Amino acid sequence: MYQSTRHWLEENWNDSLTLRQWWQLMNDARLSFPRWPSAWFGQDATKEDQNEIARAFADAAVIGAPSGLGVLMGAPVTMTFGTEEQKQRWLPSLATGVEGWCQLFSEPGAGSDLASVTCRAERDGDEWVINGQKVWTSGALHSTRGMLVARNDFDQPKHKGLTYFIIDLEQPGVEIRPIKQMNGAAHFNEVFFSDARVSDADRVSDINNGWAVTAATLGFERSGLSEGAFGGVRVPAGKQAGFLDRPVGELLEYVKASRSHPDEYGGLLSTLRTIPVTAGINEIQKQKMVSLYTNERIAEMTHERIASTMKKGESPGAEASTMKLHWTNGLRISRDLGMELLGAEGMLTGDDLPVEGKVQHFFLSMPSASIAGGSDEVQRNIIGEKSLGLPKDAQTDPKTPFKDVPKN
């Protein structure tokens, strides 16, 4: 798989292609999302084959598959719950990077307790009218659509009166405001809906059954299963990012020039290997490297377990929570080890530092990883309840209508 992908890249990479053309070519060759089903732009590839493809892209240092929440969650949600018509309408734009999507779940009063959302959906003929606020919406500014969970029936119990839509963000009733983080980036946003509209044809769940699709989305998010090969250089998907019609050669130069912080979390292990360790690495640091490696290996095996569950047509369960904890565990060890290896330089920031200041930037970004996608504490609750059979977390009577549930 590695050799054939390298060969394909030699034949097809051309600096003057636009990003749109390049992603279309990758998609035609089924190299963007090899693990997706062959019916939908994939090749039912194994994890090993995907890794080989990723390595070929990385070694060739060319632009890789479109990334983002649309391909991570939107595509598997559409494949699992969408109608045939929705699949035909949405999947091609996601697979070719023409659209980026975001996840409109969390609200100021509904994060860990996500089923408490109060964003309102009211039926109006063939459409729904949406009013309310979402928060922490990653990438909303670069998104064409969003996966929205909204409450349509306040007389139903908390988990029952919800419905799931894919909403068009390019409309007057949607306002997106970026939130600045301590690492200097504005990765996520507040999103306000004021009489925004979504067609009933864009409803993914049955009315009142949005929680099932929401829970499955969180499973896809945690397991990260549907992500593309992700070898090669990452460029954000979607027309709002403004890259689709630029030549890929020019984009590579652009990304290299602004590459010091291409990714807030990923790839730190490989970064750590490039830190010049002049004083040598001590025994304790060696042990940390080993635990990082062990964590990665266990995560890969858990990933395989989830993949085989999904092949049977089932959604990932508590294993997805285990996967998320492996991820944050690895990041935490990497962060501490990175700062230790840097010594006093760890206190500085800037692109002129070893490995372009990535470790320090990562240090400032890491706390959010333990919260994103459901906090680590909440993942432990899920594992405790679903896998270990521990007593359930305190909750109100699941039959109480949402309007009567005491609010904070």
Distance CA 169, CA 240 (A): 11
**Residue facing ligand FAD at closest CB distance:** 111
Query: Given the complex with ligand FAD, which of 24 and 138 has the nearer CB atom?
Result: 138
- From 18, 80, 291, 368, residue interacting with ligand FAD (rule: CB under 6 A): 368
| Of 52, 99, 107, 221, catalytic | 221
Please count the CA atoms within 13 angstroms of the CA of 316 that sit on its side-chain side.
28
CB 9 within 8 A of CB 57: yes
Distance CA 100, CA 137 (A): 13
User: In the 3-class helix/strand/coil scheme, how is 89-151 assigned residue by residue?
Assistant: HHHHHHHCCCCCEEEECCECCECCCHHHCCCEEEEECCEEEEEEEEEEEECHHHCCEEEEEEE
Does residue 375 touch ligand FAD according to CB under 6 A?
yes
Among residue numbers 322 through 361, which ones bind ligand FAD (CB under 6 A)? none
* C-alpha torsion sign, points 201, 207, 209, 211: positive
- Min dist CB 12 to ligand FAD, Å, is 33
C-alpha 35 chain-centroid distance: 16
Please report where in the chains the tokens 């080890």 appear, as a residue. 337
Q: Any idea what DSSP says for residue 171?
A: S
Does residue 374 touch ligand FAD according to CB under 6 A?
yes
**Piece of 104-112, 195-203, 272-280, 346-354 that binds ligand FAD (CB under 6 A):** 104-112
Does residue 144 touch ligand FAD according to CB under 6 A?
no
* Chain length of the chain: 408
Distance CA 408, CA 394 (A): 15
Report the alpha-carbon angle 340-344-350, nearest 5. 100
Does residue 381 touch ligand FAD according to CB under 6 A?
yes
Does residue 14 touch ligand FAD according to CB under 6 A?
no
Query: Given the complex with ligand FAD, which of 2 and 265 has the nearer CB atom?
Result: 265
Query: Given the complex with ligand FAD, which of 377 and 404 has the nearer CB atom?
Result: 377
**Per-residue x/- marks for ligand FAD, 111-140, CB under 6 A?**
xx-----------------------xxx--
- Min dist CB 240 to ligand FAD, Å, is 15
* C-alpha torsion sign, points 194, 195, 199, 200: positive
The two structure tokens encoding residue 402 = 């949402």
Does residue 105 touch ligand FAD according to CB under 6 A?
yes
- From 371, 384, 385, 401, residue interacting with ligand FAD (rule: CB under 6 A): 371
Query: Given the complex with ligand FAD, which of 357 and 374 has the nearer CB atom?
Result: 374
- Min dist CB 187 to ligand FAD, Å, is 6
- From 213, 320, 378, 382, residue interacting with ligand FAD (rule: CB under 6 A): 378
- From 101, 188, 230, 327, residue interacting with ligand FAD (rule: CB under 6 A): 188
Distance CA 393, CA 10 (A): 55
Q: Any idea what DSSP says for residue 44?
A: -
Does residue 32 touch ligand FAD according to CB under 6 A?
no
The two structure tokens encoding residue 357 = 């200041």
- From 393, 396, 400, 403, residue interacting with ligand FAD (rule: CB under 6 A): 393
Write the CA distances from 229 to 5, 114, 346, integer angstroms: 12, 30, 32
- From 28, 48, 304, 377, residue interacting with ligand FAD (rule: CB under 6 A): 377
250 is catalytic: no
* C-alpha torsion sign, points 94, 97, 101, 102: positive
- Min dist CB 402 to ligand FAD, Å, is 17
- Min dist CB 106 to ligand FAD, Å, is 3
Please report where in the chains the tokens 């004083």 appear, as a residue. 279
Catalytic residues: 221
- Interface residues with ligand FAD (CB under 6 A) are 102-103, 105-106, 111-112, 136-138, 187-188, 368, 371-372, 374-375, 377-378, 381, 393
